[in-house]
Structure 1
Amino acid sequence: MRGLHHLWGGTREGIVKAIDLLRRSLSLDQERTATLAALAWGLVMAPPLGANMSADAASEAVGLARRAVEQDSGDAFAHAVYGFTLFGPAGDNDQGRIHASEAARLNPSSAFAWGVLGMIDSMGGDYANALACLHRSLVLSPEDSMLHMWMTGLTASYFALGQYEEGVAWARKSVRHNPSNGTGHRMLAANLVGVGRLEEAREVTRVRDAAQKTTIRDLRAMRFFKQHEALERYLSAQQIAGVAD
């Protein structure tokens, strides 16, 4: 329970504490589905929040999430986490979406399940469905600690669709909800470039670089957008906003 408190806080320091506590919890009960899935989620979320992880953290997250699903095939949270780890770190887009969809089927009232499905579609290119899923997540849990992430998915989808004003609005909400959300800042800068507000975009980059500097190479490796055109447009906007090569 202490680990979950830090896990959902969405900060670099908190995620590190969460991972430590969840590892200790797992050492006491290696068969607990919720702990397996929560630790997997923490390992996936650590890099975007600026926490240093070992090189095998991503593959460890996939393995933990797989164990969680194998342990309880009816656990929506486990399916959602497994879907995200497959889609992101493992690059198995189709299988990741299958598990995220199963999570939403198992628990249609889960804001987390719909949020993860929306994020997968936002990164994968089904932007219309991403918007529907993410807005549904916000309605289901309007005070959720994960709002900043779902809002990042919205701003990314609006960027990909070329609806930059909408993207700016949702990005501002995202970083206001969680100032530690690095991707939210990067998406804000990209959408500001899209609407031609270049000085504002460069100021966002300067502020973000002071807290956590990422390069174009880093952003390309993250592959937030799986579609080539959207990714290249995003990276171009980041260069214009002052992100170093």
Structure 2
Amino acid sequence: MKPDPAVLQSCLLFRGKSVDEIEALLQKMLYSVSSYQKNMLIFAEGDTADRIGIILSGRVEVQKTHPTGSSVTIAHLNVGQTIGEAVLFRRENIVPATATATGPCSILFIGKQELLRLFTTDTDMLTRFIENLSERLVLVNRKIEMLSAGPLRRRMIYFLLEQAMQQSSDVISLPFSRKEWAEHLNTARPSLSREMGYLRDIGWIEFKGSRIALLNREAMNDYIRTDSTISGKEK
């Protein structure tokens, strides 16, 4: 299966390249494309990290499993995003988390040695790879910052404010389902629903489906900046 160059333009590795340039690159590049169905394993924790994946269609969920058996969702990746780049060049290049397809998806894989060859012949691609690692590091730091924000209510508000800033709107669209959001916050879905209802009842948000309107960003920001709680005990 040959990937669509127009799709690869959405990948940071190929940013700035025209469709014709990507087409020419694909003709000289060693790669493979694999298709997956829902819940199929793409990378397993502990596998050897010897290739990078680029999502051509569908979505991928990345989870870290704890020794207790519980798991935390680290990321949800969409078309154009990459998998496996963060550990590809580590001395101990072991996949640290499990990646599964959330639905039908296809992924382009480039091996480590082929990627090194591309870097030596195309310094722009090397620069984009480093930028990609930097952006991924920022996302990880944001995740850590959010999870360290304290009780669930505080983590939810932190997430909603961050999404409002990223989407430049007081009416945001959740980038994933409620179930996935609960996993993202490392909580149970019923607990998330209770907190959503509470924030609605005090007039801070309204929601319908995947759309959430922030009605009082000032109060929400004040809440994040202070150690005080809203009336009622936090969960």
**Same fold, TM exceeding 0.5?**
no
**TM-score tier (shorter):** 0.3 to 0.5
User: Which TM-score applies when normalising by structure 1?
Assistant: 0.32
Structure possessing the higher relative contact order (Cα contacts under 8 Å, 6 or more residues apart) = 2
The structure with the largest helix share of the pair is: 1
When Rg is computed on C-alpha atoms for both structures, the one with the higher figure is: 2
User: Which TM-score applies when normalising by structure 2?
Assistant: 0.33
The structure with the largest strand share of the pair is: 2
